[in-house]
Structure 1
Amino acid sequence: MCGIVGYVGARAAQPLLMEGLRRLEYRGYDSAGIAVAEGGRLSVAKRKGKVRELDAALPAAGFSGAVGIAHTRWATHGEPSDANAHPHLDATGRIGVVHNGIIENAAALKQRLAAEGVTFASETDTEVLAHLIARRPEPSLVEAVRAVLAEVKGAYGLAVIDAARPGALVAARNGGPVVVGVGEGEGFIASDAAALMGHARSIAHLDDGELAEVRADGFTVFTLEGTQTVKALSELSGDALALEKGDYAHFMRKEIDEQPAAVRRTLLGRFDRRFATAHLGGIEMAAREMLDIRRVKILGCGSACHAGMVGAHLIEQLARIPAHAEPASEFRYRNPVIEPDTLYVAVSQSGETFDTLAAIQEVKRKGGRVLGIVNAVGSTIARECGRGVYLHAGAEVAVVSTKTFTSTCTAFALLALQLGRVRDLSAAAGARLVAGLDALPDQIAGIIAREAELAALSARLAGAEHAYFLGRAASFPIAVEGALKLKEVSYLHAEAYAASELKHGPLALISPDTPTVMLLPDDDLLAKNLSTVAEVRTRGGPVLAVTQPGVSLEGVEAAFAVPACEPELAPLLLNIPLQLIAYQVAQGLGRDIDQPRNLAKSVTVE
């Protein structure tokens, strides 16, 4: 969601802040702004639209100050506009605030300030913070911010600058991710460490209820009660080049291409070939503890939940443990029964998804045990879970998930294999699956190399207003994910159904104008799936198939075959053509592929 960057040091702040904003564009936003302290005042520019609009609005000579904050906004309070863009200032223009999250008692605070004569320049909840901080008498900025946050209810990640006290910035966190960076005689603030790559040497993650005073010579962290705390620094790893498109037109296409390497990294060092099993050291569970598991509950949002659905099938197939995936956003709003013999698995690409984090905290509050499957090292969910699996898929910049979805499904295959071998899965079956997983990267690369063969399927979908995706059993989650991808990047209406449910209602929607994408793996359900194809064709519905070699197809308008593989792993391969189809359709329709309208990469508010 919204992005924050802050800098204090000796260099000109503006180029560093603008570079940070460009690296945070993937999070999704509708406006951007910057404030730099120079000559005892804040120089501010902010614009509705993309960072390029903000760049064009900056003065030709640029801002010269060495301390500043910047922001990309995803609208919550107030429509996208220049006035509602961050940073927000107090009446004198001395205090500047950028903020991710929602201030729940903003209306009451605004009413109080208005009664005291304050005039507001925006419709946002954030502006309230700037006015409150400016009115505090505390001698330091961090003390003033701490006093104001004692009055505030809601979620926030924020950075504050004071033109009258430009020696330090203040950051604070309660629900919204914030990292503090340390460089050579300079300090940084960001909502995502990606903004600091190539500049900060090391970073520290703030926890909820903490503030940081960030200076050029270091930083100090306090609790909201004023107690000073010690934060461990970790090296800022990662390649800044991974955040560049290179020769690709879009990050989404680049990240589709990166999937073979991403899957290899997810698999690397995680096979115990002697015993034909997987070894996920990060889950920190002995065989006896695994045997005690009676149920697995997987929690995630969006594509993470769909990957969890794939994982649930794999765990039931290989380990014979009842498993179920559900949206973390729904789980947290009911009063879930937390069982001591249930293993909860939280899935998040960013490791900052607010709904998933809240679900984890609910499970832990009731004594449950939670593993994390996360891509972002050191993220909030990774730290909250304490144990789990890092995907090592690399940075994913496009809003829609491709390589992290595939890597998450791969991680679930490893987890299912490890749980299965502890139970009743034979060594022969384990060896078969290890070989199948070994083959995945090259098979994925082969599918991507045949992208041109998907043109007929993509063209058929691009010309329709509605489309249906059908899959049965383990392929159903892939149908759901395929429909989501098409919706996200092309804005076409797509629905996914379990093929077995077609005659229980959705068959009424089939018509010659509504193509159906049917997933047809060559497995023991093939005959039933071909019967579903016949049902669609009988009603005049065109069928597009993603299948495997050797499947005899009648009445199918266009088809694409993925390689033969172990049956349990077929969903991972069937997924790749659906990603490419969504990309091709969106490209043909001229959509904003990397930053689809209304969407954010990491949803960190309710």
Structure 2
Amino acid sequence: MCGIVGYIGKRDAAPILMEGLHRLEYRGYDSAGIAVARAGELRVAKCKGRVRDLEKILPDRFKGSPGIAHTRWATHGEPSDRNAHPHCDSANRIAVIHNGIIENATALRRRLAAEGIVFRSETDTEVLAHLIAKMPHDSLEGAVRAALQMVVGAYGLAVLDATRPNALVVARNGSPVVLGIGDREMFVASDPSALVRHTQSVVHLDDGEVAVLRADGFETSTLEGDPTAKTASTIAWTDDAFDKLDFDHFMRKEIAEQPDAARRTLSGRLEPRFQTAHLGGLALDARELLEVRRIKILGCGSACISATMGAHLIEQLARLPAHAEPASEFRYRNPVIEPDTLYIAVSQSGETFDTLAAVQEVKRKGGRVLGIVNVVGSTIARECGRGIYLHAGPEVSVVSTKTFTCTVMAFALLALHLGRIRDLSTAHGGRLLKALSELPVQIESILARDAEIAELARQLLACEHAYFIGRAAGYAVAMEGALKLKEVSYLHAEAYPASELKHGPLALITPQTPTIVVMPRDDLFTKNISTVEEIRARGGPILAITHAGDLPVSVEGRFDVPRSEPELDPILLNIPLQLLAYHVALQKGRDIDKPRNLAKSVTVE
């Protein structure tokens, strides 16, 4: 949510900043703006809408350096030109861009208004600009520190003073900030994707840190001013990874990348000698893992659904009680943290605020927590200190596809590892290793039948509601399918356990409400057939996601996926539902990579 990018160096800032904003569009936003310093003056342009709308109003000779730019996702104040960032002080000397929420903004605003400050926006961020301008400090760094001492809340921010253009000051508390190190130039962003074209060397700020950026380097310290030592890391992703190439949308590209992403997740982790998985990042030996009596998995959105699948896999293969729950609710119920419970935090970006807060709650109470994340060096990865990296590659589209698939595969590896430590036999271990190694090719075979899914999608265009059902792990597949469809096509979709249909949801079935049934040919297949019969008796259309073979009921459409082992079938059953959501959205003319009201990385509560 929101995006920050900044530059200081000898080049004109505007082209670099605008390119960075384009790179950050996937995070979700409703307005954009830019500010540069030139000859002691601040030049600002901002507007509601997309980055392309900002480009249209940008003057031809918008030159200057340093500069900062921002994409905003509205929290305080509606999306509008005046609420767009950057925000400035009364003298138009200080410019601030900010991700996060200032919780005591109302009290600070009243105090500043009583002192004669006239506000030009409804945002909490403008309060920061006025506070910084009022601080009696000789340096911009000192003024920012003094202002932040008065602030309560989350922030990732960058500050520019047009009269002191030799430095940018940035700070972090709960919202990601990454420094990019160039050749006698420095960059700052909320996400490494904005930096990869210019540098691969980055430094991640920690909460409570302030950094001063100059063209020839940077200094970091605590909010109180004590120096901190930072070590640069290298971004593994290349600039090409953030391009759509020949695809019309990032979502479609990332669906197509799943076979290779799956291979990377598996690479080096299949151990045929002992018919198990090798997961060195866990940093827990067999004795410690044997002491674990239950597992709780925390995530938000698709990460929470993948956690549900993961819990099912762990219970099946390791015979350990496992449970998934939304990280956003976890810490508010004052959870009991047990010493024999292993907690797992799941986040594609590694920056999801609610999940990070849950991790910190577990650690505060003495619990053990692992991370399953995609972004190396992200906050959750560093906070956990151990876990599994997905290595899925960057995911730009707001909706999660390849990282969801790779997360479930990571859970399969973890479940296999835990199972083999306990009582899963070598025969069963070997069976699963073989099935895991075959998944990338099986995913390719599904993707090759894209036209079949596009045809099925046509059957959903005229309806206003759709229902997804499944049993056991198939219910989690149904939840993810419904979430994808509603996220990207705006068609109302709900998922229910198939066994619950007769306990209420059956009242919703009509000839105008299609039901997508996830029905693998497992030991629950006949029960799924019975549920389909109940829907058919009420005239409900059926689309079946199943395996090859005769169906003893008539359906309006079906798609057969290749068979894997029963524990891994859900991974393959989910792929056609990703394509189904994509094609419904495409045929409805939606903005597929930027669904309304949503953001890729949710960094506020």
Q: In which range does the TM-score fall when normalised by the shorter chain?
A: over 0.9
**Alignment-mate amino acid for residue 577 of structure 2:** L
3-state SS of the aligned residue for 1:225? coil
- The equivalent residue for 2:461 is 462
Q: What TM-score results when the alignment is normalised by the length of structure 2?
A: 0.99
Is the contact made by 1:301 and 1:329 (CA closer than 8 Å) also made in structure 2?
yes
- The equivalent residue for 1:332 is 331
3-state SS of the aligned residue for 1:439? helix
- The equivalent residue for 2:525 is 526
- Write the distance in 1 (CA, Å) between the matches of 2:346 and 2:173: 21
**Alignment-mate amino acid for residue 39 of structure 1:** A
2:44 is the counterpart of 1:39:
no
Deviation at 1:504, TM superposition (A): 1.0
Deviation at 1:455, TM superposition (A): 2.8
2:285 is the counterpart of 1:297:
no
- Write the distance in 2 (CA, Å) between the matches of 1:444 and 1:561: 12
Alignment of 1:15-94 (within 5 A): 15-61=15-61, 63-94=62-93
- The equivalent residue for 2:120 is 121
- Write the distance in 2 (CA, Å) between the matches of 1:200 and 1:136: 34
CA-based RMSD of the aligned residues comes to 0.7
- Write the distance in 2 (CA, Å) between the matches of 1:32 and 1:198: 21
**Alignment-mate amino acid for residue 40 of structure 1:** G
**Alignment-mate amino acid for residue 131 of structure 1:** H
- The equivalent residue for 1:176 is 175
**Alignment-mate amino acid for residue 9 of structure 2:** G
- Write the distance in 2 (CA, Å) between the matches of 1:341 and 1:236: 36
- The equivalent residue for 2:153 is 154
Alignment of 1:128-143 (within 5 A): 128-143=127-142
Deviation at 1:461, TM superposition (A): 1.3
Is the contact made by 1:94 and 1:162 (CA closer than 8 Å) also made in structure 2?
yes
Is the contact made by 1:343 and 1:369 (CA closer than 8 Å) also made in structure 2?
yes
2:389 is the counterpart of 1:390:
yes
3-state SS of the aligned residue for 1:568? coil
3-state SS of the aligned residue for 1:274? coil
3-state SS of the aligned residue for 1:226? coil
Deviations 1:560-580 (A, max 9, x none): 000011111000000000000
Is the contact made by 1:9 and 1:187 (CA closer than 8 Å) also made in structure 2?
yes
- The equivalent residue for 1:477 is 476
- Write the distance in 1 (CA, Å) between the matches of 2:453 and 2:130: 56
Alignment of 1:260-279 (within 5 A): 260-279=259-278
- The equivalent residue for 1:214 is 213
Deviations 1:265-299 (A, max 9, x none): 00000011101000111001111111111101000
- Write the distance in 2 (CA, Å) between the matches of 1:334 and 1:38: 51
- Write the distance in 1 (CA, Å) between the matches of 2:36 and 2:552: 64
- Write the distance in 2 (CA, Å) between the matches of 1:201 and 1:590: 36
Deviation at 1:237, TM superposition (A): 2.7
Is the contact made by 1:522 and 1:551 (CA closer than 8 Å) also made in structure 2?
no
Deviation at 1:64, TM superposition (A): 1.7
2:414 is the counterpart of 1:412:
no
Deviations 1:281-321 (A, max 9, x none): 10011111111111010000000000000000100000000
Deviations 1:478-518 (A, max 9, x none): 10000000000000100000011111111111111100000
Is the contact made by 1:482 and 1:578 (CA closer than 8 Å) also made in structure 2?
yes
**Alignment-mate amino acid for residue 136 of structure 1:** M
**Alignment-mate amino acid for residue 22 of structure 1:** H
Is the contact made by 1:456 and 1:558 (CA closer than 8 Å) also made in structure 2?
no
- Write the distance in 2 (CA, Å) between the matches of 1:229 and 1:180: 14
3-state SS of the aligned residue for 1:559? strand
Deviation at 1:466, TM superposition (A): 0.3
- Write the distance in 2 (CA, Å) between the matches of 1:76 and 1:112: 21
3-state SS of the aligned residue for 2:539? coil
- Write the distance in 1 (CA, Å) between the matches of 2:235 and 2:585: 35
- The equivalent residue for 1:199 is 198
Is the contact made by 1:100 and 1:156 (CA closer than 8 Å) also made in structure 2?
yes
- The equivalent residue for 2:544 is 545
3-state SS of the aligned residue for 1:343? strand
3-state SS of the aligned residue for 2:80? coil
Deviation at 1:105, TM superposition (A): 0.7
Alignment of 1:296-315 (within 5 A): 296-315=295-314
Is the contact made by 1:29 and 1:75 (CA closer than 8 Å) also made in structure 2?
yes
- The equivalent residue for 1:430 is 429
- The equivalent residue for 1:6 is 6
Runs of 4+ in 1 over 6 A off after TM superposition: none
3-state SS of the aligned residue for 1:275? coil
3-state SS of the aligned residue for 2:100? strand
Is the contact made by 1:346 and 1:356 (CA closer than 8 Å) also made in structure 2?
yes
3-state SS of the aligned residue for 1:464? coil
- Write the distance in 2 (CA, Å) between the matches of 1:553 and 1:357: 48
- 5+ residue gaps in structure 1? none
- Write the distance in 1 (CA, Å) between the matches of 2:529 and 2:137: 73
Deviation at 1:373, TM superposition (A): 0.1
**Alignment-mate amino acid for residue 430 of structure 1:** G
Deviation at 1:553, TM superposition (A): 4.2
Number of equivalent positions: 605
**Alignment-mate amino acid for residue 182 of structure 2:** G
- Write the distance in 1 (CA, Å) between the matches of 2:528 and 2:338: 37
- The equivalent residue for 2:355 is 356
Is the contact made by 1:304 and 1:347 (CA closer than 8 Å) also made in structure 2?
yes
- Write the distance in 2 (CA, Å) between the matches of 1:412 and 1:124: 41
- The equivalent residue for 1:446 is 445
3-state SS of the aligned residue for 2:433? helix
**Alignment-mate amino acid for residue 548 of structure 2:** P
- The equivalent residue for 1:95 is 94
Deviation at 1:551, TM superposition (A): 4.4
- Write the distance in 2 (CA, Å) between the matches of 1:332 and 1:403: 29
- 5+ residue gaps in structure 2? none
- The equivalent residue for 1:375 is 374
3-state SS of the aligned residue for 1:362? helix
Is the contact made by 1:250 and 1:594 (CA closer than 8 Å) also made in structure 2?
yes
Q: Which of 434-443 and 135-144 deviates more? A: 135-144
Deviation at 1:554, TM superposition (A): 1.5
Q: What TM-score results when the alignment is normalised by the length of structure 1?
A: 0.99
- Write the distance in 2 (CA, Å) between the matches of 1:454 and 1:31: 35
Q: Note closer, same or farther for the CA distance 1:526–1:201 as it changes in structure 2 (3 Å cut).
A: closer
3-state SS of the aligned residue for 1:33? strand
- Write the distance in 2 (CA, Å) between the matches of 1:106 and 1:219: 29
2:107 is the counterpart of 1:108:
yes
Deviations 1:98-145 (A, max 9, x none): 000111111111111111111111110100111111111111111110
Is the contact made by 1:332 and 1:359 (CA closer than 8 Å) also made in structure 2?
yes
- Write the distance in 2 (CA, Å) between the matches of 1:143 and 1:206: 18
**Alignment-mate amino acid for residue 347 of structure 2:** S
- Write the distance in 1 (CA, Å) between the matches of 2:459 and 2:224: 61
**Alignment-mate amino acid for residue 31 of structure 1:** S
Deviation at 1:550, TM superposition (A): 1.8
